Amino acid sequence: MGRSALTFAYKSVNGNLRPLIPIEIQKGAKATVRLIVLVDSGADVCIFWGEVGGSTRD
């Protein structure tokens, strides 16, 4: 598996800089959820609230 790198600007949250990025989760042609998420580059998995998955129902 190859490695790739992306660079994003950090954003200030309550006076602290955080690596926040915009993402879009899509299921099918209609259901799309747009979020701003915190990057945890050391994480093995991504976790989202159940409401995120529920909002992508067709």
> Where exactly are the structural domains of the chain?
11-54
1-45 pLDDT, tens digit each = 567 777 888 999 999 999 998 988 887 777 788 889 888 878 888
How many Å apart are CA 28 and CA 49, to the nearest integer? 20
Q: What's the pLDDT at 14? A: 95
pTM: 0.62
